[in-house]
Amino acid sequence: MMKKTAIPILVLAVFFLICLQSGCKHHQEEAQGRLTSQSGCKIFIAQSVAAIWPPDEEECLHYRFAANVLHLEQQNAAFNCCPGKITAVIAVNDRVITVREKEQEAGCGCTCLYDLELEIVNLEPGAYRIVIDEPYLGGQPPLDCAIALEEGSRGDCCLDRSGIPWQAAGKAGK
């Protein structure tokens, strides 16, 4: 009786050790995001450009997804004219991507529109919600987009904005 129960226990123990060494299931690395680039203040750029898309009264998020990497282009994000370093903390929890944007300082007495590029690596395909929290919304809702990601997908999400700097930038470019 002892030999009959010892063999299955030994087999299970060996399987457990192999599993520990190699990983019992496919391990997906955690999704990680970062800010990859930013434009300069667009109010000054807009004065020399006849037609701008999207209009300065809109904030837009353009996305493309390939090889488990989500590329984001945010147009018309509001920051101080002298922000120092702009940073973004990106978290992915329960299919919600949260981007919290900050500036190092409010060095001038004005605000500007900027374009930002972000990327998130190790992201599995599927349905997500992206929420972008930025410092100068003045009571307006954050940019909040529902997206469906599959290999090669792309799209955009835009939100009308009012107040400074969005309305001021629109007038400067006209």
Q: Would you say residue 47 has pLDDT above 60?
A: no
pTM summary value: 0.76
When comparing pLDDT for 98 and 164, which is higher?
A: 98
* Size of the chain, expressed as the number of residues it contains: 174
Cβ atoms < 10 Å from Cβ of 151: 9
Going by DSSP bridges, is the β-strand pair 126-133/143-149 parallel, antiparallel, or unpaired? antiparallel
Statement: residue 173 has pLDDT above 50:
no
What are phi and psi for residue 165, nearest 5 degrees? Answer: -95, -5
Are 158 and 58 spatial neighbours (Cβ–Cβ below 8 Å)?
A: yes
pLDDT of the residue at 119: 98
Q: What pLDDT is attached to residue 48?
A: 43
Q: Residue 26 pLDDT more than 80?
A: no
